[in-house]
Structure 1
């Protein structure tokens, strides 16, 4: 896991006041080596030149290793996560909308927005465009955005935000002064932060060893190509607690390493975390 620098971490959320405020609260309360990344998450569209396969090579070339694929049939999504080359780096979680499975109106709106942009440029410049605060395609019209949102709020989020960092996740078990995720959630709620309550504030895997929670995404004013403007969801902060696996329960607390804890992701948890950016649930 990688330690979080106060300024770089808060800077990731300059357009997201809730996440920025939560970051500032946490970095004021805990030393930097107590705040570490569990994973970073990106979204994309499953069309040629985009999708998981357009973002993955950047991380694979740097030593991340492809791991499990996850499927979300009701949301028409798939995802894959990537294990880091060393424990000091975060996992990477990349998901995509299965565009071929959405309704005709959404498919047509996506195709019209992407337009004639060469697919090779989309693949090469998605992350670069996101770093500059933009997308490698023109802004959609409000009607196009609405057509996609009616079918998939996830897809509409990507049209507006591109490959921008969807969320950063902090490792709760690395916070020495926090007695688990429930304790942290209590502190956040006590400070007035709005959390994604879909499926409960804390999402728990069937084995009980992966516990996750997130803030609700803030919104920013977005200018559509037709000249209209409206608020659209941006990003958020997630918190993950990975408990010690049964076979390592006998280890002393100071002996427990990351590889002794529950690894990977859980479809049921992630399915609800996706909804942190739904407009109906935005802060």
Structure 2
């Protein structure tokens, strides 16, 4: 587990420093004298050979993770897998990719120019997973991509890194329901993702989720700096299957709405 813990610590440091600085405040609100249990993280990328989903998964597979569920988000042109470690205490990993070939020719050309800047050796090892943006991009390109696909704009601006960590609500004792987590966060001034309802899912699908709206963070483009949506914090409650074990997968309809936590408000 040492290698797993080291990688997630590096991802956490990047996430809290660059993408979601408010995560520390969320921790302070929900911690009950012990570290919060991280249910899963999520990573985003483009479906191109040099940087595709399989490239992001490789460092996790090298430390014992195995592919599990497969997901399709047709309207957003996204494909995803989730991965689990044999140790149930290790967080799950959800990796999605934009199906670039299904997008407009303009987006395809623009994204390919960005990815062409990535040096092959940069994708070796695991440091690139929390290494940020490996290409130069200007504000106009970010806006152009965002108009067609918010997801494409996000990846172009931020590069690689966890766009969210997820508090396991099952572990909490003073707050037992996702609705209660939302109430605590609203009282502290956080905006909750309302797309599809402030709680996505239900006991029937074995999973309930909610999320804050992404922090606005400064991003340095080649021609200036902008405040744009970065990372967000998610909250998940899993329900027991007939055999008593907790459901470990993801629900496409809910995940589809969670993606919108990085939309401009």
TM over 0.5: yes
Structure 1 match to 2:61? 60
Is the Cα–Cα contact under 8 Å of residues 41 and 165 in structure 1 kept in the other structure? yes
Q: What's the offset of the Cα at 1:10?
A: 7.8
**Residue-by-residue CA offset, 1:81-110 (whole Å, 9 max, x unaligned):** 001121111111111011111112211221
Is the Cα–Cα contact under 8 Å of residues 212 and 240 in structure 1 kept in the other structure? yes
Structure 1 match to 2:33? 31
TM-score (norm 1): 0.83
Q: Distance in 2 between matches of 1:232 and 1:199?
A: 23
Note closer, same or farther for the CA distance 1:129–1:86 as it changes in structure 2 (3 Å cut). closer
Structure 1 match to 2:26? 22
**Residue-by-residue CA offset, 1:226-263 (whole Å, 9 max, x unaligned):** x1322221111100000122453xxxxxxxxxxx1122
Structure 1 match to 2:121? 121
Structure 1 match to 2:163? 166
Is the Cα–Cα contact under 8 Å of residues 15 and 21 in structure 2 kept in the other structure? no
Number of matched residues?
A: 259
Structure 2 match to 1:13? 16
Give secondary structure in 2 for the equivalent of 1:75. Answer: coil
Q: What's the offset of the Cα at 1:129?
A: 3.9
Structure 2 match to 1:216? 213
Structure 2 match to 1:261? 246
Give unmatched runs, 5+ long, in structure 1.
249-259
Q: Distance in 2 between matches of 1:242 and 1:79?
A: 20
Q: What's the offset of the Cα at 1:122?
A: 5.0
Structure 1 match to 2:81? 80
Listed as ranges, the matches of 1:224-263 within 5 Å are: 224-225=221-222, 227-248=223-244, 260-263=245-248
Give secondary structure in 2 for the equivalent of 1:163. Answer: coil
Q: What's the offset of the Cα at 1:24?
A: 2.3
